[in-house]
A and B are shown apart, each in its own frame.
Chain A
Amino acid sequence: MTTLSIDRTRLAFAGSLILGAVVLAITLSGAPIAVARINTQRHAGLGTTRESLTACQSAETLPRHTSALRLYMFAFTGPRVSVQLLAHGQVIAHGERGAGWTGGSVTVALGPLAGAHQGVTLCFALLLNGDEGVSLSGERTHSALAAQVHGEPLPGRVRVEDLRPGSSSWWSLALAVARRMGLGHAWAGTWIALLAGALMLGVVLISWRVVFRELP
């Protein structure tokens, strides 16, 4: 009975770790998200909204394989954001980000978008939660080019970055990432990445030992 129990415990621990390692390998075979296009060159405040709004800005261009949009707006506890992309009056992609995001931009994942599109109208809705405002940022433009809210122009266009998977996998970028880890720290060098890896290996080995020694 004890042997069976020990086997079960070991199996559960080792099996979970192996499963995790497989998921990790698959994740690392994917490519990091890269910026495919930025719609504005400058970066300025466009005002703060304290009420829900839906804004649309036309003449956007979407590169191929765009999988997410990064919209520049600041909130500490951001509201729900939904995005629609329209071409010739038809919705070609949409996405939504739940409330609770923080920071100077919000990334909204989109449905699959195989081809490139020009003359796209981007509409985004901010469904404000409670009273916290959202500060929009982008490039100040004349009213004809500016984002519109119920026909009224904002001071400019909200900055949007079109994101899509890069061309190289995480595996192939591993050395470049390790080199970057060696910059901007107390001690410079690629060995910094190896040290972090060695420390985590220590974590795994000690955890393994505790599980095998303490759990029947």
Chain B
Amino acid sequence: MSRARATARHWTQLLRRVPTAAWLCAAVACLNGLAWSIVTPPFQVPDEPSHVAYVKELAEKGRLPAHSGSFSYEEAVALADLHLTRVAEHPQYQTIASQAQQRKLEEGLQLARESSIAGGDYGGVSASQPPLYYALEVIPYSLGSGGTLLERIELMRILSAVMGGLTALFSFLFVRELLPRVRWAWAVGGLGVALVPLLGFMSGGVNPDAMLFAISAALFYCLARGFRRGLTRGGAIGLGAVTAIGLATKLNFLGLAPGALLGLIVLSVRSARSLGRAAYVSLAAALALALSPALVYVIGHLASSAPALGIASKALSISGVHGSVSGEASYIWQLYLPRLPGMHSDFGGLSSARALWFNGYVGLYGWLDTTFPHWVYDFALIPALALVCLCARELVARRAALRAHAAELTVYCAIAVGLLVLIGADSYTVFPKNNAEYGQARYLLPLLPLFGAGLALAARGAGRRWGPAVGATIIALFLLHDVFSQLQEVARFYG
């Protein structure tokens, strides 16, 4: 009992050490996610029907969803009465607009809840995903078991919004570790991340991406803390635990895992100089912890004669889907960067960096069907270029400090490159049927802490005199971007 009390006291002290500003950034991200969860109609976040089906199957039957079949009866009724297939991907069609449609929806949901018809156990694209996020969502789902499916979805969305808050919190702490002497820049990075509209949109829906972003941010924070303060045994176990949680959350974390493990190894080698063999014992424990969910996942899939890593197996196949590794490498390069001489053109005249990633970040919501007028994307280039220039200026000015942190930066680069390669390899599996199915900016949000650091550096790049004012302008800009994005969503669905 006293041990439990001591542990509780230890955690309370740890939480008290978190600056108030970090909690406020978390609150901003959480409230923002909640606002998005209200503005966005049910099922209008990418793949939300599949993710809801996963939670429903887990909560009601205690088993994982099937890869084929049909949705449960209750969900099928909700999808039909909300006209999902008509509205999703078709911006010319809006959500239900009359009291008669609302009554039909309410009556349908009520009847479906009381009906003995169970329907299918289809989980759609989510069926291959590991279960941790969905298992957590079972809690709000069960709390709302007396209500309709839409009420349970809203409760699940609230948990996602809390995860959005954690993303901002860890991003703040990450920037604090990177720039410990520039206190005001922490808020620029943390608040900048909290106000990213795409984070609000994704954390306003039922989607494991919300938890993936939070775990990725925690990973960056743990690594930065390790590089700044040295890796203790607790730190190593913490990194291992974060990696394990990431792997149990969403398959996309496979892209971040190599960089995370590299960081763990680099930090252990460093700490071995002072701790000796004990550092390697901690490393072994951390690695065992980190890889255990992946091992369970692989064994489970192999036992059911499924590919070892589910849908990710195809993307990670060395031979590539189309049989050419060089073709795949060329495709992945062009997914992010301009084509080099000698490369086959996979995207024709499309500037992928601009059209997919930049425009996707500036504004692409719903089922990739909610956009701003075209001129907005051109206009957004102005502040974006200004931020890039300011950030570059600061990096050049601090190049000596960068050299001193080469190992740390290499680890962050490995994490980023791993994620980019995974997204590219996944997209290549459906190429050329679809040019870039996974070319969606939301898949880059696990790198939000680096984005937050970039914002803090940009503000600092304006110099000591103007830095805080530029930081305040950045925050205001992000706030306005968020407000206009939500209004665009309102116009698309209810206008």
Contacts and interface: CB of A to CB of B under 8 A. Distances in A.
Contact of A210 (B28, B348, B468): B28
A196 interface: yes
B345 A130 contact: yes
Interface stretch (B123-131, B249-257, B481-489): B481-489
B49 interface: no
Nearest to A5: B468
Interface string A24-45: 1001000010010000000000
Contacts of A195: 38
Interface in A69-123: 70, 76-77, 79-80, 97-105, 107, 109
A211 B479 CA distance: 12
Given A181-B490, A184-B41, A214 B105 contact: no
B21 A196 contact: no
Interface string A145-167: 00000000000000001000000
A127 B473 contact: no
B369 A102 contact: yes
B225 interface: no
Interface stretch (B213-221, B279-287, B294-302, B429-437): B429-437
A8 B469 contact: yes
A77 B148 contact: no
A206 B347 contact: no
Given A11-B469, A203-B32, A210 B24 contact: yes
A202 B92 CA distance: 32
B355 A206 contact: no
Contacts of B490: 177, 181
A131 B334 CA distance: 14
A129 B350 contact: yes
Interface in B353-389: 354-356, 359, 364, 367-369, 371, 373-374
A200 interface: yes
Nearest to A161: B92
Interface of B is mostly: helix
Contact of A132 (B28, B374, B433, B473): B433
A130 B437 CA distance: 14
Contact of A77 (B187, B436, B465): B436
Contacts of A216: 184, 468
Interface string B211-247: 0000000000000000000000000000000000000
Given A20-B480, A173-B495, A209-B24, A183 B469 contact: no
Contacts of A53: none
Contacts of A207: 28, 191, 195, 475, 479
Contacts of A79: 348-350
Given A200-B35, A214-B183, A77 B479 contact: no
A214 to B, nearest CB: 4
B469 A12 contact: yes
B439 A8 contact: no
B102 interface: yes
Nearest to B183: A214
Given A98-B374, A215-B187, A199 B195 contact: no
A203 B476 CA distance: 11
Given A24-B484, A103-B368, A129-B349, A16 B469 contact: no
B11 interface: no
Contacts of A132: 432-435
18 contacts: A27-B484, A100-B355, A100-B356, A103-B369, A104-B90, A105-B90, A109-B373, A127-B348, A132-B435, A180-B97, A180-B493, A181-B490, A185-B38, A186-B42, A186-B153, A187-B151, A210-B28, A210-B191
